[in-house]
Amino acid sequence: MSRTAPRLGPTAPKKLVEDGDICPVCKSSRYLNPNMVFKVNPECYHKMCESCVDRIFSHGPAPCPIAGCRRTLRKARFKKPNFEDIQIEREVDIRRRVASVFNRREDEFDTLLDYNNYLNEVEDITFNLIHKIDLDATEKKLAAYADSNKQSIQANVSRASQETTSFQARQAAEREQERLRREAARRDDEEKKRILEENRRNILNTLATTDGDANRIAKEGQRVALKKSSARRALTDRRPDVVASDPFTAATANGNADGGAFVIKGLKKVVEPEAEKPYDPFGGLSDETQYYVLQDTYQYEDVDKYMSDVQYTAGGYDFGEWYSRALCEAFSGLGVFIGEETSGRDAAAAVPIAMAATAATVVGVEKSADDVF
């Protein structure tokens, strides 16, 4: 008696049709083929079996075979849905796409209210994309924001990646730490058992070879075992097996908020680091080299005897630097004029005194005007 495969006819369970277990293209059913795999494309989210995807889109882009859908689909974008409800699958994809663009953090805003307003605007955009409300305008707004905030978006993506890497490294370090603790505890138990077994054998050997008191020999053996355990524990405390460390840090700068179709209010201003100024060896003071010209050599007996001494020349000492420093110290007071400094200081001190006198005069006039006597 031969068996034939069951056919999907009018009496097939209605649950197959309700659950979407029939491919809308080839009409194959999971009831007949339990290994059937359905896939969807984010362009239109029409579900079809994997064999239809391979058959239709293996030679390049092609229009969607579902009646009424004219979108051009590509095989590379087909994926296996994570949810049975395609609407939930579509909403998750939309929220993931919006979150990849609007990835601002709370610490980038001045107040919590500004951050909540930002989240509310992002949710409005997400709601419009999910329910296809003003779809073209919303897509343009999303694209405009992505173009005008590329720097901040990329910075936050890098920051999130670093945080993820740091979190994974921290978890790996904690797991390794826990493994080392378990290994140390296991070794501790084995060492304790070994000491007890060795102590028991020593006591038995002592009792077998001597005629001493059994209680005294047992107490002495216990004392020796306790001493060995204390020494081993002290050695373990001095040499720990686990050192907690986390070399990873998360630190990225916030991106600048540019204008465009979508404006975020309340963002903190990003302060760019100041450019390093050229090195000034005089610390802002006047350069005294304008008062002299440095020569290559000078006739100075106290210095000439060192120029021929191997102890100084072998080390590479530069006598030109000594000449330059000596001349700079000699001429360092020529650019300072005490008279100009004192006159400027006296003029600055006279201004508040004059203002105070003027204020006192005005107050006196007001008092005289109000005084009827």
242-298 pLDDT, tens digit each? 444 443 333 333 444 443 456 777 777 777 778 888 877 666 666 666 677 778 778
Q: Is the dihedral of CA 4, 7, 11, 15 positive or negative?
A: positive
Say whether pLDDT at 55 is over 70.
yes
Question: How far apart are the C-alpha atoms of 165 and 175, rounded to whole Å?
Answer: 15
Say whether pLDDT at 66 is over 70.
yes
Q: What are phi and psi of 138, to 5 degrees?
A: -70, -40
Residue 155 and residue 107 in contact, taking contact as beta carbons nearer than 8 Å: no
Most confident of 102-106, 205-209, 223-227, 292-296: 102-106
Mean pLDDT across the stretch 67-73? 88
- Tell me what pLDDT residue 241 has: 47
Say whether pLDDT at 155 is over 80.
yes
Mean pLDDT over all residues of the chain? 76
Give the burial string for 242-253 (b: 16+ CB within 10 Å, else e).
eeeeeeeeeebe
DSSP letters, 16-33, are HHHHT-B-TTT--BTTT-
Pairing of strands 62-63, 48-49: unpaired
Give the least confident one: 45-54, 136-145, 220-229, 255-264: 255-264
Confidence label for 64 from pLDDT (cuts 50, 70 and 90): very high
Q: pTM of the full predicted structure?
A: 0.47
Contacts of 256 (CB under 8 A, 6+ apart): 149, 151, 152, 270
Residue 155 and residue 105 in contact, taking contact as beta carbons nearer than 8 Å: no
Question: How far apart are the C-alpha atoms of 37 and 22, rounded to whole Å?
Answer: 11
Place of tokens 């995807």: 53
Residue 224 and residue 199 in contact, taking contact as beta carbons nearer than 8 Å: yes
Helix, coil or strand: residue 248: coil
- Tell me what pLDDT residue 276 has: 81
Can you read off the two tokens belonging to residue 167? 């979190």
